[in-house]
Amino acid sequence: MSAGQAGTERLWTTAADGRRVAVWRTSGGGAPGGPVVVLAAGFARRMRHVGAVALYLARNSAVVYRYDPLDHVGLSDGEIRDYTFTSSLSSMRAVVDLAVERERAAAVTLVAASLAGRVAYRLAGLDPRVAAVATLVGVVDVRRTLVAVLGADYTTYELAELPADVAFEQYRIDPRPLWLDHRDHGWTSIEGTIDDLRRTSAPVTNFWAADDDWVRPEDVERAFEEGTGGPRRLLELPFGQHDLSGNPVAARVVMRALTEVVVGDAVPGGQVADPSFEEIVELAVSERRAESAQLAEDLEGTRR
């Protein structure tokens, strides 16, 4: 790794239930002294899909730990069919443990996209090591978002009435573990999010998109106005949509602003350094290959 270039280490950690969580640590390319960041991609997105975010933060002096949650797509244990918020919380907590230990850091900043934002709001209220939270199109009313995505409010069903699976993009998701997670741990209501934000004294920033079909601006406003456990900030992306990565020109603007929020005064020279177009393209291609190689290795291990 040459000076000025970010590098990624591939690591593993273990969640409380003993299952493996795949973690990529990205650092380098800037003066030391930036925050330690735990970065979570959105639902059905892999850690390689937030490579450009990791590159931005690392280039500007942060050390970034991103991961694939349990029971999700990606390299960690479990399948997305069995996704729950609670196993996603367990994954995030395990990565915070790893980051704190390896970096000998007292605290971390959580950066999370979409549904992972809801998990970050919960963990920030539970774990004093979370110094700050920044979410990209963070989901505040899970029930409403799931209705928009799936077309039905499964929280109103009886458990026995639920279908065996529902479709999300190309994935099949079993709604029953999610339903039980909702009943037992209160993930889906906006009131639950407000409670978590009230418990969180750390600063929380949310980037919200004005044309987001899955997260209503008024819900974001309400959650942040009522969830005032500490400093709260809302940044609007006019005409933006929920899938920020779908518009790479707008994504640049967001990543630059996110870096300012997360790294703050530690940005070397006070000016955010932008990774080049070629670097971002190369990273996307090389990390897809790295993921495929890991999956092939895991498959080989399973066969043995």
Partner 1 sequence: MTRTDVASGVVRSSLPGVPEIDRLVFQTPDCFRLPREQISQLRPRLIREAVRFHRDSCPEYGSFLGQLGFDPDDIADERDLDRVPQFPASVYKRRPVTSTPPAEVVQTFHSSGTSGRLSSVPRDEATLQRLLGSIRAGLEMLEPLTGEGDPEDNVVLLNLGPPRSAAGSLWFSYVMTLVEILAPTHHYGTAATVRYAEAADDLAGVLAAGKRAGVIGSPLAVRRLAEYCLANNRTVAGGDAVFVMTGGGWKQPTGEELSRIELDTLLMKAFGVHDASQLRDAFNQVEMNSVLLECEQRRKHLPPWLYAVTRDPRDLAPLPRGAAGLLSFVDPTAGSFPCFVLSDDIGVVHEPGCPCGRTTETVEITRRVRRSQELGCALQTERLQAERQLADLLEADPGPRGSG
Contact track, partner 1, 227-256, x by CB under 8 A = -x--xxxxxxxxxxx----xxxxx-xxx--
- The least distance separating partner 1 from the CB of residue 7, rounded to whole angstroms, comes to 19
Count the residues of the shown chain that bind partner 1, applying the rule CB under 8 A.
Answer: 38
CB of 246 to partner 1, least distance (A): 6
Query: Contact 121/138 with Cβ under 8 angstroms?
Result: yes
Q: What is the phi/psi pair of residue 206, to 5°?
A: -125, 130
Out of 126, 159, 281, 296, point to the residue binding partner 1 (CB under 8 A).
281
Residue from 69, 135, 224, 263 binding partner 1 (CB under 8 A): 224
What minimum distance in Å lies between the beta carbon of 240 and partner 1? 6
Alpha helices by DSSP H, the chain: 51-59, 85-103, 115-126, 142-150, 175-185, 190-199, 217-226, 248-263, 277-303
State the DSSP code for 237. Answer: E
**132-171 residues near partner 1, rule: CB under 8 A:** 169-170
Site string for partner 1, 81-120 (x = CB under 8 A): ----------------------------------------
Are the C-beta atoms of 159 and 180 separated by less than 8 Å? yes
75 CB burial (10 A radius; 0-12, 13-18, 19+): buried
**Sites for partner 1 among residues 282-301 (CB under 8 A):** 282, 284-285, 288-289, 292
Q: How far is the CB of 166 from partner 1 (least distance, A)?
A: 16
DSSP annotation of 275 reads P
- CB crowding 166-176: b at 16 or more within 10 Å, else e: beeeebebbbb
Residue from 17, 101, 165, 211 that binds partner 1 (CB under 8 A)?
211
In terms of CB distance, is 82 or 274 closer to partner 1? 274
Token pair belonging to 164 = 């065996």
Residue 91: how many other CB atoms lie within 10 Å:
29
Interface residues toward partner 1, by CB under 8 A = 169-170, 207, 211, 224-226, 228, 231-241, 246-250, 252-254, 257, 276-278, 281-282, 284-285, 288-289, 292
